[in-house]
Amino acid sequence: MVAASFKFNIDGIEVEATEGQSVIEACDEAGIYIPRLCHHPELPPSGNCRVCTCKINGRHSAACVTPAAHGMVIENDTPQLTSDRRAVIEMLFVEGNHPCPYCVASGDCELQALGYRLGMVAPTQPYQWPERKIDATHPDIYLDHDRCILCSRCIRASRMEDGKTVFGFEGRGIAMRLNVDAQGGLGETQMAAIDKAASVCPVACIVIKRHNYQVPNGSRRFDKTPIGSDIEAKRTRRQS
Amino acid sequence: MSDVQVSQPQGNPLKGRLGPRKIVIDPVTRVEGHGKVTIKLNEAGEVEQARFHIVEFRGFERFICGRMYWEVPVIVQRLCGICPVSHHLGAGKAMDVIAGVDQLTPTAEKMRRLMHYGQVLQSNALNFFHLASPDLLLGFEAPVAQRNIIGVIEAFPQVGKWAIFIRKYGQQVIAATGGRRIHPRLCIPGGVNQNLTVENRDALRKDIDQIINWCCEALELHKSFVHSHETLHETFASFPSSYMSLVGADGGMDLYDGTLRAIDADGESIFEGVRPVDYRDYLTEEVRSWSYMKFPHIRSLGREDGWYRVGPLAQLNCCAFIGTPIAEIARKEFMALGHGGLVHATLAYHWARLICMIHCAETIKKLLFDDDLQGTDLVASGQRRSEGVAIIEAPRGTLLHHYAVDHNDQVTSANLIVSTTNNNEAMNRSVTKVAIDYLAGHEITEGLLNHIEVAIRAYDPCLSCATHALGQMPLVVTLEDAEGSVIATRIKE
Ligand code: SF4
Ligand code: SF4
Ligand code: FES
């Protein structure tokens, strides 16, 4: 049975969606970019970063966990929402340690790219300078906890895709942090470099060893086009 | 000048006036930390000793511990705003050793060299044109308001052109090899992350002959200064010393790679062919309480006599020849200043610096016509090691990077000996010489300050980039007695 299709409106644009799609999925397909961090197209949504928050029928809701529905009226690209998202991104920056200029992910990092896209110049919030250590116990992968933004992508990937439970959160609120399911660090877990969990991190927290800085400046993923351009290109293609 | 620390009077000032005195000169820097010159007088009121203090940024060694070894070449250039490219290459070479790679692919080796020669060219151009040429071309005594690059451009318009375009060209080389002018990225352990595109190669080829010519014209202009000030050039802040630099396997000048050579003041060999990995057998570092800097010296000669000079003058004195034709002719003419021996004049650093610039420009040209730069074999691999030492001749002289890395790929220790540190003792001696020659009575004259500046600038110490822009070096001079009581203070903005 073919899923029923219906329409909703986002920033004045009609979007066609099918039953079962979330707002963010329908918009992605239509070539409309909603900024996001924890959402990953190949993983079930978790709704924990709130970057994708839109005004849906007048209420603030996370687009990645809100099912699309007929007749919805959504505000996405507005000055107020952009500023709210910028504030969220800023908090993520100051809660960890993010020295982009020398970071292995620079130019390829979703947090950094979103900072640029949303016009974040320098954080206005005070830096927290947390003290976190690298877990380099695994022969092929290391965890740089300084960069973790607690998006839970790795937890979902490990459970749903890899059938393992390598990652989990411990603590709550500001004290929450990523943990692995072995006392002796990542090296003692079931983790392998080919796992899905090793490739979904939006920042430089889960990093494959010895493959860093191989892409020169100017050729990295976000050097030429801002984050979201790939999604927006679908719409441009369709229009022309 | 609000952040100057002036020593507070202590003890009995009357008593101090009769005993040894100390003059403190305090150039405060904004970025790299701050330096200070102390001139100590003896009981008779004569100069006993002078010291040039630099607060070096030493947090790096601790900061880097725990980081992944491949991050170091990128991190190191961020933490040291002084010569980022030289540190990138120095750390990059050390990480080759860690990665077990002793021989880079031709493309990788030549890309690194191209970047390095671009860096040395632009850094030496900055020192010579922007910082030193006002002193040399306008005179040490010219009014401060005029003794800067703007003053030079008014008097010698061609210098402005050279200053801008030679520097810009060097930066263009860096951008073509590392993606951007400042804080480029090229080195990865065992190789590089890109080759030279044909577009970049062609753009660089277009101007290289002009750059070589301008470097030669600058040398001619400088020589005319030397020839009209021969005694000053030979004696100012000068003394015989030992020298150390890398040289190539054939004994020729090699600023990127090779083995260490040290020679004494008569040009006799102290050591030859020392591989970076063996540096600790030949060099040792001493920490002195009054300075944050380390004092490296040649182990076999001991603390007192083991000091040496590095940088362009040492690079010229240590090499048997230069492998590029114009620079080699210039080297022979330069060495004639030593009448068969070494050249010891401190101001000759500038002449040597200009020859190095010519050599860099010629080498860049040679590389731009080498097809290996368009090769695609960028990285070699080898058997991982736990320790890596590398040495490079940075614009200011010998630069050493030494790291230890554990089985998890994390750095466990780091030791850097930077060029300015190598020149520590030599700079003290030059300042002492200036103080002896130019200090009259207990008055701290502007002339004395100027001469001290000129002497320090010859070595192009790290703090110069921040404070000497447009020839301005803020100074605070304090005259102290034996117990540290301040007798007089003089500030030069
Ligand atoms: S993880 Fe991203 S945001 Fe954080 S330092 Fe690296 S590049 Fe910057
Ligand atoms: S490690 Fe990466 S994927 Fe996992 S929670 Fe942290 S930021 Fe997200
Ligand atoms: S992307 Fe929707 S909450 Fe993170």
Query: What integer pLDDT is reported at residue B56 of this predicted model?
Result: 54
Same domain, B368 and B220: yes
Give the span between the Cα atoms of B76 and A140, in whole angstroms: 24
Give the span between the Cα atoms of B203 and B368, in whole angstroms: 10
What ligand 1 atom has the least distance to the C-alpha of A93? 3
Q: Name the pTM for this structure.
A: 0.89
Residue B232 located in a structural domain: yes
Q: Is A4 exposed, middle or buried (0-12, 13-18, 19+ CB in 10 A)?
A: exposed
CA-derived radius of gyration, chain B: 22
Percent with pLDDT over 70 in chain A: 99
Instruction: Tell me the nearest-neighbour CA distance from A230 into chain B, angstroms.
Output: 24
> Which of B78, B189, B193 is facing A101, going by the closest CB pair?
B78
Reduced to 3 states (helix: H, G, I; strand: E, B; else coil), residue A17 is: strand
Cβ–Cβ contact A101 with B under 8 A: yes
Same domain, B44 and B116: no
Chains A and B: how many Cβ contacts under 8 Å?
55
As for how many domains chain B has, the answer is: 2
Task: Give Cα B475 to chain centroid, integer Å.
Answer: 21
C-alpha distances (whole Å) from B403 to each of A135, B297, B363, B387, B444 are: 20, 20, 30, 6, 45
Q: Domain containing B223: what range?
A: 104-238+345-379
Decide: B431 and B456 in contact? Cβ < 8 Å. Answer: yes
Q: Is A205 exposed, middle or buried (0-12, 13-18, 19+ CB in 10 A)?
A: buried
Find the helix packing angle between B348-368 and B446-459, rounded to 10°.
30
Query: What integer pLDDT is reported at residue A33 of this predicted model?
Result: 98
Same domain, B43 and B135: no
Collect all residues of chain A within an 8 Å Cβ-Cβ radius of residue B74: 102, 213
Report the number of secondary-structure helices (H) and strands (E) in chain A: 6, 10
Query: What integer pLDDT is reported at residue B26 of this predicted model?
Result: 41
Collect all residues of chain B within an 8 Å Cβ-Cβ radius of residue A217: 178-180, 184-185
Q: What's the CATH code of the domain at B141?
A: 1.10.645.10
Q: Give the up-direction half-sphere exposure of residue A199: CA atoms within 13 A in the CB hemisphere.
A: 10
The pairing of beta strand A177-180 with beta strand A206-208:
unpaired
C-alpha distances (whole Å) from A120 to each of A90, A124, B230, B317 are: 8, 9, 58, 52
Collect all residues of chain A within an 8 Å Cβ-Cβ radius of residue B68: 104, 134, 136, 142, 209, 212
Cβ–Cβ contact B75 with A under 8 A: yes
Give the CA dihedral B453, B422, B242, B305, nearest 10 degrees: 100
Same domain, B136 and B195: yes
At position A141, the amino acid (one-letter code) is I
Residue A67 DSSP symbol:
B
Residue B471 located in a structural domain: yes
Residue B415 located in a structural domain: no
Q: Which two tokens stand for residue A228?
A: 């979201």
Cβ–Cβ contact B71 with A under 8 A: yes
With left for phi above 0 and alpha for psi between -120 and 50, is residue A107 left, alpha or beta?
A: left
The full length of chain A comes to 240
Same domain, B47 and B119: no
Ligand 2-lining residues (CB < 6 angstroms): A 148-154, 178, 200-201, 203, 205-206
Residue B389 located in a structural domain: no
Query: What integer pLDDT is reported at residue B471 of this predicted model?
Result: 35
Same domain, B114 and B229: yes
Q: Read out DSSP for B69-105? A: GGGHHHHHHHH--S-HHHHHHHHHHHHHHHTT-SS--
Cβ within 8 Å, pair A134-B66: yes
The pairing of beta strand A59-62 with beta strand A73-75:
unpaired
Residue B108 located in a structural domain: yes
Tens-place pLDDT, residues A123-156: 788 888 888 899 999 999 999 999 999 999 999 9
Residue B252 DSSP symbol:
B
Decide: B125 and B167 in contact? Cβ < 8 Å. Answer: yes
| Closest CA relative to residue B293, chosen from B122, B420, B449 | B420
Helix (H) or strand (E) holding A95: helix A79-95
Q: What is the pLDDT along chain B (493 residues), one digit of tens a residue?
A: 333 232 333 333 333 333 445 555 443 222 233 456 778 887 777 788 777 766 555 567 778 899 999 999 998 887 655 678 999 999 999 999 999 999 999 999 999 999 999 999 999 998 899 888 888 888 887 777 777 788 888 889 999 999 999 999 999 999 999 988 777 899 999 999 999 999 999 999 999 999 999 999 999 999 999 999 999 999 998 899 999 999 999 999 999 999 999 999 999 999 999 999 999 999 998 766 555 567 889 999 998 899 999 999 999 999 999 999 999 999 999 999 999 999 999 999 999 999 999 999 999 999 999 999 999 999 999 999 999 999 999 999 999 999 999 999 999 999 888 888 888 889 889 988 888 888 777 777 777 878 888 888 888 776 533 333 223 445 555 556 666 666 656 655 5
Query: What integer pLDDT is reported at residue B224 of this predicted model?
Result: 93
What ligand 3 atom has the least distance to the C-alpha of A24? 2
Q: How far is the CA of A202 from the centre of ligand 1 (A)?
A: 9
End-to-end CA distance of chain B: 7
Cβ–Cβ contact B181 with A under 8 A: no
Ligand 3-lining residues (CB < 6 angstroms): A 36-39, 47-52, 62, 64
Q: Nearest ligand to the C-alpha of residue A191?
A: 2
Return the residue whose CA atom lies nearest to atom 8 of ligand 1.
A100
Collect all residues of chain B within an 8 Å Cβ-Cβ radius of residue A102: 71, 74-75, 77-78
Q: Is B315 exposed, middle or buried (0-12, 13-18, 19+ CB in 10 A)?
A: buried
Query: What integer pLDDT is reported at residue B490 of this predicted model?
Result: 61
What ligand 1 atom has the least distance to the C-alpha of A205? 1
Structure-model confidence comparison of residues A16 and A124, the more confident one: A16
Decide: B66 and B75 in contact? Cβ < 8 Å. Answer: no
Residue whose pair of structure tokens reads 């009209």 in the numeric block = B228
The full length of chain B comes to 493
Same domain, B123 and B231: yes
Residue A4 DSSP symbol:
P
Decide: B473 and B18 in contact? Cβ < 8 Å. Answer: no
Residue B218 located in a structural domain: yes
Residue B15 located in a structural domain: yes
Residue A127 DSSP symbol:
P
The pairing of beta strand A167-170 with beta strand A177-180:
antiparallel
What ligand 2 atom has the least distance to the C-alpha of A152? 5
Same domain, B374 and B459: no
Give the span between the Cα atoms of B452 and B433, in whole angstroms: 9
What ligand 3 atom has the least distance to the C-alpha of A36? 1
Helix (H) or strand (E) holding B426: helix B424-438
Return the residue whose CA atom lies nearest to atom 3 of ligand 1.
A112
Report the number of secondary-structure helices (H) and strands (E) in chain B: 19, 15
Same domain, B24 and B138: no
Domains and CATH numbers, chain A: 5-77 (3.10.20.740), 85-217 (3.30.70.20)
Angle at B393 between CA B304 and CA B112, to 5 degrees: 160
Give the span between the Cα atoms of A106 and A99, in whole angstroms: 9
Assess whether pLDDT exceeds 80 at residue A43.
yes
Q: Nearest ligand to the C-alpha of residue A114?
A: 1
Q: Read out DSSP for B316-328? A: HHH-SB-SSHHHH
Instruction: Tell me the nearest-neighbour CA distance from A53 into chain B, angstroms.
Output: 35
Which residues have C-beta within 8 Å of that of residue A128, sequence separation ≥ 6? A94, A95, A96
Helix (H) or strand (E) holding B16: helix B13-18
Query: What integer pLDDT is reported at residue B80 of this predicted model?
Result: 58
The residue among B62, B63, B70, B182 with the most chain A CBs within 10 A of its CB, best to mutate, is: B70
Cβ–Cβ contact A65 with B under 8 A: no
Q: What ipTM goes with this model?
A: 0.92
Residue B207 located in a structural domain: yes
Return the residue whose CA atom lies nearest to atom 8 of ligand 2.
A151
Query: What integer pLDDT is reported at residue B240 of this predicted model?
Result: 95
Same domain, B40 and B122: no
Give the span between the Cα atoms of A24 and A30, in whole angstroms: 10
Tell me the average pLDDT across A57-82: 97
Tens-place pLDDT, residues A29-38: 999 999 999 9
Give the span between the Cα atoms of B390 and A87, in whole angstroms: 44
Q: Is B384 exposed, middle or buried (0-12, 13-18, 19+ CB in 10 A)?
A: middle
Give the span between the Cα atoms of A188 and A166, in whole angstroms: 10
Give the span between the Cα atoms of A162 and A182, in whole angstroms: 17
Same domain, B234 and B139: yes
Same domain, B32 and B155: no
Which of the listed residues A90, A114, A147, A220 should we mutate to test ligand 1's pocket, taking the one with most ligand atoms within 8 A of CB? A147
